[in-house]
A and B are shown apart, each in its own frame.
Chain A
């Protein structure tokens, strides 16, 4: 029987009446307050994926190099030499929109814990960020504090931030996106799972003490639309990278010494989630005694202890005879540790306060009992996002200058110089030196390339084509570094899935992700879904973000993007430029529905060709064609190399039936710019053509001007002017041209 009071209580906690009925049926009684709090969090969108789980089943997850797939704290792939790379991307959007510094910092802290929970030492962080346009004070505030928060955590803990991407678009004005990806390295045979096994084994809480901070952070913030005002600020967790640094070193030493049966981080929903999931994966039960949890505040209620999202905590399963050894290691690292419960054969999560049972639920009901919902997708009939003309250029030269200075395209040096990109001595290419970050792994005699990509505007134009493009773009970035993708992680950032057009975006986007990964042969090894990214101003652009890890056999053979004087430049691949959904269309306020349908196979062939060309050392410079089209990509290469450049795009326009303007500024997948000594580039172009990968030589580096012509359009800019525009991001942030 539901009393009126309890039914209003479950609604306050975000559960529907139907979900509440189901809990009553599963328990065969009304849940008490502790149980209701625990159910409400584990059955939240953030923890239960109740609107996305069915769609995620589409994704290909198997591959020859996968050693850990979805369902664990992070995915992992084999890189040879007995080593595995673990990686995952996760969102911290809502906390960052409410409190950007701590939101972003704890986003980094959380994804780091996901990776070292596997026993992998984090070796790199990448970030994918979205804000409103930079002419808004709120956007500048969010950018400033998000970047400071990411830097504060990553720099302090000694993990380099090696890459990422940032876009500024008005639909993110109120609801910024902060997605952080962590890459870790571990001996392949020492990766540890999170399944709690061994009846009688102890449950040990390691790390920080438990306080009232972040109570309900994940479910409260991430499972409903953001409302105006900042009354949810107290729900945001507070990060302490020093505590996490000790925790990281402590956990890796515990694993090195073989002292743990299982390890799991405490993230969203705190102890409730980690204890429930560990028991669920192990097919066991778990008893947790809240009286034994070290607290920051003495008078915390059992439900508060169970749902607190205090940061920098891990849950370990330990054989009783090894407890003293575990505690000794923790003491050496000056990190807290307490045995708070044990693994049982009951199949139940029991919450005790001393001898008193204050909660008792079947593990299965708590972890897997949440109903999964079907979506009700319907395509919108017209473009539902704002259009605003900002371009006031006359002529193609001015247009190129404005595009180079557009914050989404401009150099992000102002951002990445605030991140330590070199600690751990692996970073072969620092940010903006190449399309992908390259990290050497001398222990395995190899290197890896990592990149993270997504373009919400293009996904908004066409959720299917835009998502395919994100996967291709990421693979293209790896190819420019000679990297072959081993696995993919994704973060699906969307609006309210209960709205038909958002459901349609999500449906089309996951279908595209599945198709593109299948065709490229890249398994999805993990990911995260962030829904309800909308406010009363409307939803964000649908923003699937993909991160990839690729294998680079020889880090000495990795070209950068600096084109030097005298080098020739070729355009390689089935790139067919279109102004649809482009930066130029945005600047003109001419965005409409629809992108050209992508053909994945020819792009995949070009990716393979470029990868092999890079690996064989026949390419000195490689850069993919992305935002702003060929004109922007060529200018970026000229700026990086400090040389002028002269290119003609008539052949491209003719080949594709594209207008001169589209040849210069049009976008689309499958374009690579390859540079090197003229004869070598000529030979490479001929070889590519013979292999069925369309390639044309378009120009060479010379002089001190950026000269591009297509049809009757001619661009001639002083290199210094182009560079000045491209380096203008700092000016928006009061730091001048940097």
Chain B
């Protein structure tokens, strides 16, 4: 398993994501200007402030050559995980439904939260029992998940809500406590919590490893669509 971790100007968590992926398989950085992902089995779009988050979080990064390649990769069924700013980028790119708005409190929030796995039918949750609670930190300014009510109904019905904040843990005012969503095929997943910052008990929790481990599980259950 080889992970490609995107690196934009302004990425902050790309090395953390790289290190997390290396606990599961091989990993390397993919420069934003490269339009070829090379021989990777999965892509991580990491956290940070790509292009300074100018204009709107993730709005500029989606136009980078590497993201064009990621769109092709995702269309072929390749697994793509967007974390925090990466989630914002994937929403901006239309690979995931909805949008991330400024936090309800209008302040940056960095906090360990409990997250429930609500759909196990995605590339990054297949290793988790349904309803499993994971202790994972959030740290963001614009993490309030939003979509129109009927869209939310549709996502819930289709099993595309991948993660919810546990009751009372919603740190940003996200609609229906949604912490992460998946694409229709389940191969593209985005979430605001940072699983790459929950891979070592010494640093607080290793629950985030389940997301990275899920790739192997799903691959063994159902060979990739591509």
Residue numbers of A with Cβ under 8 A of B are: 148, 151, 155-158, 240-243, 245-246, 249, 333-334, 416-428, 430, 440, 555-556, 735
Are the CB atoms of A418 and B108 closer together than 8 Å?
yes
Indicate which residue in B15, B52, B202 contacts A156 across the interface (CB closer than 8 Å). Answer: B52
Indicate which residue in A148, A241, A422 contacts B139 across the interface (CB closer than 8 Å). Answer: A422
Given A156-B10, A417-B111, A419-B108: A427 touches B52 (CB 8 Å cut-off): no
User: Would you call B157 an interface residue if the criterion is a C-beta within 8 Å of the partner chain's C-beta atoms?
Assistant: no
Given A420-B110, A420-B139: A334 touches B203 (CB 8 Å cut-off): no
Are the CB atoms of A425 and B110 closer together than 8 Å?
no
User: Would you call B78 an interface residue if the criterion is a C-beta within 8 Å of the partner chain's C-beta atoms?
Assistant: no
Residues in A neighbouring B200, C-beta threshold 8 A = 425
Indicate which residue in B15, B105, B197, B202 contacts A440 across the interface (CB closer than 8 Å). Answer: B202
Indicate which residue in A155, A417, A425 contacts B203 across the interface (CB closer than 8 Å). Answer: A425
Are the CB atoms of B19 and A425 closer together than 8 Å?
yes
Residues in A neighbouring B15, C-beta threshold 8 A = 424-425
- A247 nearest CB across to chain B (Å): 11
Residue numbers of B with Cβ under 8 A of A are: 9-13, 15-16, 19, 47-49, 51-54, 105, 107-111, 137, 139, 141, 194, 196-197, 200, 202-204
Indicate which residue in B10, B47, B111, B197 contacts A245 across the interface (CB closer than 8 Å). Answer: B10
Are the CB atoms of B12 and A242 closer together than 8 Å?
no
Given A242-B51, A242-B54, A423-B12: A440 touches B203 (CB 8 Å cut-off): yes
Given A242-B54, A246-B9, A422-B197: A555 touches B108 (CB 8 Å cut-off): no
A333 to B47 alpha-carbon distance, docked (Å): 18
Indicate which residue in A242, A419, A425 contacts B49 across the interface (CB closer than 8 Å). Answer: A242
Residues in A neighbouring B47, C-beta threshold 8 A = 423
Are the CB atoms of A242 and B139 closer together than 8 Å?
no
Residues in A neighbouring B141, C-beta threshold 8 A = 155
- The chain A residue sitting closest to B11, CB to CB, is A158
Known: A245-B52, A420-B12. 8 other contacts (CB 8 A): A155-B141, A158-B12, A416-B110, A421-B110, A423-B139, A428-B203, A440-B202, A735-B105
A158 to B51 alpha-carbon distance, docked (Å): 13
A334 to B32 alpha-carbon distance, docked (Å): 12
- B73 nearest CB across to chain A (Å): 24
Given A417-B109, A555-B202: A158 touches B13 (CB 8 Å cut-off): yes
Indicate which residue in B54, B110, B137, B202 contacts A418 across the interface (CB closer than 8 Å). Answer: B110
A243 to B194 alpha-carbon distance, docked (Å): 24
A148 to B107 alpha-carbon distance, docked (Å): 8
Are the CB atoms of A241 and B108 closer together than 8 Å?
no
- The chain B residue sitting closest to A414, CB to CB, is B107
Are the CB atoms of A242 and B197 closer together than 8 Å?
no
Are the CB atoms of A242 and B109 closer together than 8 Å?
no
Indicate which residue in A418, A424, A426, A430 contacts B107 across the interface (CB closer than 8 Å). Answer: A418
Q: Which of B19, B52, B54 has most A Cβ within 10 Å?
A: B52
- The chain A residue sitting closest to B48, CB to CB, is A158
Residues in B neighbouring A151, C-beta threshold 8 A = 108
Residues in A neighbouring B11, C-beta threshold 8 A = 158
Residues in B neighbouring A334, C-beta threshold 8 A = 9
- B30 nearest CB across to chain A (Å): 14
Are the CB atoms of A419 and B19 closer together than 8 Å?
no
Are the CB atoms of B203 and A245 closer together than 8 Å?
no
Are the CB atoms of B108 and A245 closer together than 8 Å?
no
Given A245-B9, A420-B139: A430 touches B16 (CB 8 Å cut-off): no
Residues in A neighbouring B10, C-beta threshold 8 A = 156, 242, 245-246
Residues in A neighbouring B9, C-beta threshold 8 A = 242, 245-246, 249, 333-334
Indicate which residue in B16, B19, B52 contacts A241 across the interface (CB closer than 8 Å). Answer: B52
- A98 nearest CB across to chain B (Å): 23
Are the CB atoms of A242 and B52 closer together than 8 Å?
yes
Are the CB atoms of A422 and B203 closer together than 8 Å?
yes
- B142 nearest CB across to chain A (Å): 12
Across chains A and B, which 5 residue pairs bring their CB atoms closest together, nearest first? A242-B52, A158-B12, A156-B49, A420-B139, A425-B16
Are the CB atoms of B109 and A428 closer together than 8 Å?
no
Residues in B neighbouring A424, C-beta threshold 8 A = 15-16
A249 to B10 alpha-carbon distance, docked (Å): 10
Residues in A neighbouring B53, C-beta threshold 8 A = 156, 242
- B168 nearest CB across to chain A (Å): 13
A427 to B139 alpha-carbon distance, docked (Å): 14
Are the CB atoms of A430 and B204 closer together than 8 Å?
yes
Residues in A neighbouring B139, C-beta threshold 8 A = 155, 420, 422-423
A155 to B142 alpha-carbon distance, docked (Å): 13
A428 to B202 alpha-carbon distance, docked (Å): 6
Are the CB atoms of B203 and A420 closer together than 8 Å?
no
Residues in A neighbouring B107, C-beta threshold 8 A = 148, 418
Are the CB atoms of A419 and B105 closer together than 8 Å?
no
Given A156-B49, A242-B10: A427 touches B203 (CB 8 Å cut-off): yes
- The chain A residue sitting closest to B199, CB to CB, is A425
Residues in A neighbouring B203, C-beta threshold 8 A = 422, 425-428, 440
Residues in B neighbouring A416, C-beta threshold 8 A = 110
A430 to B203 alpha-carbon distance, docked (Å): 9
Residues in B neighbouring A423, C-beta threshold 8 A = 12-13, 16, 47, 139, 197
Indicate which residue in B52, B110, B204 contacts A417 across the interface (CB closer than 8 Å). Answer: B110
- B135 nearest CB across to chain A (Å): 13
- B155 nearest CB across to chain A (Å): 29
- The chain A residue sitting closest to B14, CB to CB, is A158
- A436 nearest CB across to chain B (Å): 16
Residues in A neighbouring B196, C-beta threshold 8 A = 425
Residues in B neighbouring A249, C-beta threshold 8 A = 9
Are the CB atoms of B108 and A420 closer together than 8 Å?
yes
- B23 nearest CB across to chain A (Å): 11
- The chain B residue sitting closest to A250, CB to CB, is B9
- B188 nearest CB across to chain A (Å): 24
A424 to B200 alpha-carbon distance, docked (Å): 13
Are the CB atoms of B13 and A240 closer together than 8 Å?
no
Residues in B neighbouring A426, C-beta threshold 8 A = 203
A424 to B110 alpha-carbon distance, docked (Å): 14
Q: Which of B12, B19, B110 has most A Cβ within 10 Å?
A: B110
- A565 nearest CB across to chain B (Å): 22
- The chain B residue sitting closest to A431, CB to CB, is B110
A419 to B107 alpha-carbon distance, docked (Å): 10
- A427 nearest CB across to chain B (Å): 6
Residues in A neighbouring B108, C-beta threshold 8 A = 151, 155, 417-420
Residues in A neighbouring B13, C-beta threshold 8 A = 158, 423
A334 to B16 alpha-carbon distance, docked (Å): 23
A430 to B137 alpha-carbon distance, docked (Å): 12
A469 to B204 alpha-carbon distance, docked (Å): 32
- The chain A residue sitting closest to B112, CB to CB, is A430
Q: Which of A148, A243, A422, A428 has most B Cβ within 10 Å?
A: A422
A427 to B197 alpha-carbon distance, docked (Å): 10
A158 to B11 alpha-carbon distance, docked (Å): 8
A192 to B111 alpha-carbon distance, docked (Å): 37
Indicate which residue in A155, A240, A419, A425 contacts B197 across the interface (CB closer than 8 Å). Answer: A425
- B100 nearest CB across to chain A (Å): 16
- B29 nearest CB across to chain A (Å): 12
A609 to B54 alpha-carbon distance, docked (Å): 52
Q: Which of B16, B107, B196 has most A Cβ within 10 Å?
A: B107
A422 to B203 alpha-carbon distance, docked (Å): 9
Residues in B neighbouring A246, C-beta threshold 8 A = 9-10
Residues in A neighbouring B48, C-beta threshold 8 A = 158
- B154 nearest CB across to chain A (Å): 34
A423 to B137 alpha-carbon distance, docked (Å): 11
A243 to B54 alpha-carbon distance, docked (Å): 12
A424 to B48 alpha-carbon distance, docked (Å): 11
